[in-house]
Amino acid sequence: MHHFRHIGQNLHCESVDLAEVARLHGTPTYVYSAATMAGNYTRLARGLGGLDAQVCYAMKANSSLAVLRHFANLGAAFDLVSGGEIRRVLAAGADVRRSVFAGVGKTEAEIALALEHGVFSFHVESEPELARLNHVAGRLGVKAPVAIRVNPDVDAHTHAKITTGKSDNKFGVPLARAAAAYAAAAKLPHVSVKGVQMHIGSQLTSVAPFVEAVEKVAPFVARLKAEFGIAYFSVGGGIGIVYQDALASGAQEWWDAQPSDKRPITPEAYGAALVPLLKPLGLKILLEPGRFLVGNAGVLLTRVEHLKRGEGKNFLIVDAAMNDLVRPAMYDSYHEIVPLHRDTTRAALTADVVGPVCESGDCFAHGRQLQEAGEGEYLALMSAGAYGAAMASRYNTRPLPAEVMVSGGAFELVNARETFEQMTANEKVPAFLK
């Protein structure tokens, strides 16, 4: 569910006409709905009713300071994967003491930063990382709280680049080797065994892989509770969102119209399936959703530059590009494309929607049927709140896009469009070239 809809002919985010945002702040610009994020967080927390649960927002999905502060205000902790993300949470005025630090390649400096700020736990990906944690914690005179990431070898049936729970992925310790890893961790003087973690992938649209993974790992978790007195079990993230029919999916009527066996996963269904499996463990339960909380809470606004009519194909050229939203180029991802001004009297247009970057891969959609659009008109790429601005680059010396947050009828620029001077501020021509 989300808060993007046409009111009359114009697309709104909550009560804000998005064309007004585009005119005031230009394009490409990301727009985020505060109400959608709050609604997603609240539904997920309620779906886990009956558990001692903590939602840790996986901020790699969207690390805007405004987004982080919003989730902190709602009660979320954070799933951190770099020293930079730790610093971002602190810069947002939030606390990392309930948050977890994951990632396969934590440096000594990042570990020290996390320990100095009292991170709740480290999600350990390998035996060598345990040794590094023990070394850094010993140097600082503290104990590092840890949970080893157990790889359950469960196929999440998602895109190859976002699956993480198979034995041939780089993440975690195989379940068959996990007992030995815990035994080794328990002997380290500057490590404190605190929990177990798993995460099987991203954009899962069925609850079945979650159930399979929990059923596979839960007996091992119970064993660790008995042996080491662990306090929590992290079940990871991965709840998927609707990309196709994304605009329609914001309405209850759309959800009600879907056949029961075809309905997208919901936080209610997720909770109903997992709570009975997790409650008997008697542990604190952590989960680390990212995309689910922010994906459908954001859109990317763009302006039409030209309609190029070719031999047997049309190209709708817009001012957003793969550097602003890389998901279609990287993952062949689908994003619904919607006019900000809907006019049902216009003819339909079938076109490739492409950006200005000098790459054939700079394409948001192939052969997409759209309302006919002309130069200067605005479009919205839906479901762009996750892995949009967070993965943006300066390719082709294009500035990073602006970001705006909406709450009710108010909106505010939360990240100004990058200037050329900001882009080149740290660069210099060496003396030997002058």
Q: Give the model's pLDDT for residue 159.
A: 44
Assigned superfamily of 34-291: Alanine racemase (3.20.20.10)
Q: Give the model's pLDDT for residue 324.
A: 98
Which one of 13, 56, 358, 363 is the catalytic residue? 358
Looking at the predicted structure, is the pLDDT value of residue 263 above 80? no
151 contacts 124 by C-beta, under 8 angstroms: no
- Mean per-residue pLDDT over the chain, rounded: 93
User: What's the pLDDT tens digit per position in 146-180?
Assistant: 999 998 877 544 544 444 434 455 567 999 999 99
* For residues 189-201, average pLDDT: 95
392 contacts 401 by C-beta, under 8 angstroms: yes
Q: Give the model's pLDDT for residue 1.
A: 78
> 50: Cβ–Cβ under 8 A, 6 or more apart, which residues?
275, 279
Q: Using N-to-C axis directions, what is the helix angle for 83-91 and 108-116, rounded to 10°?
A: 30
Q: Residue 115's pLDDT band (boundaries 50, 70, 90)? A: very high
52 contacts 278 by C-beta, under 8 angstroms: no
CATH of 296-423, one of 3.30.930.10, 3.40.605.10, 2.40.37.10, 3.40.50.11540: 2.40.37.10
> 249: Cβ–Cβ under 8 A, 6 or more apart, which residues?
1, 2, 242, 255, 264, 296
User: What's the pLDDT tens digit per position in 40-84?
Assistant: 999 999 999 999 999 999 999 999 999 999 999 999 999 999 999
Q: Give the model's pLDDT for residue 154.
A: 75
Q: Give the model's pLDDT for residue 165.
A: 38
User: What's the pLDDT tens digit per position in 344-365?
Assistant: 999 999 999 999 999 999 999 9
Q: Give the model's pLDDT for residue 345.
A: 92
> Cα 141 from chain centroid?
35
* For residues 302-309, average pLDDT: 96
Q: 34-291 with 296-423: one CATH topology? A: no
- Tokens found for residue 75: 């009660």
Q: Give the model's pLDDT for residue 166.
A: 42
Looking at the predicted structure, is the pLDDT value of residue 225 above 60? yes
Tokens 């009600």 correspond to what residue?
256
> Between 262 and 397, where is the model more confident?
397
Domain residue limits, the chain: 34-291, 296-423
DSSP assignment of 248-268 equals GGGSHHHHHHS-TTTPPP-HH
53 contacts 77 by C-beta, under 8 angstroms: no
User: What's the pLDDT tens digit per position in 104-114?
Assistant: 999 999 999 99
Least-confidence region, from 226-235, 238-247, 298-307, 389-398? 238-247
Whether residue 399 is preceded by a cis peptide bond, meaning omega within 30 degrees of 0, is no
Can 358 be counted among the known catalytic residues? yes
Q: Residue 311's pLDDT band (boundaries 50, 70, 90)? A: confident
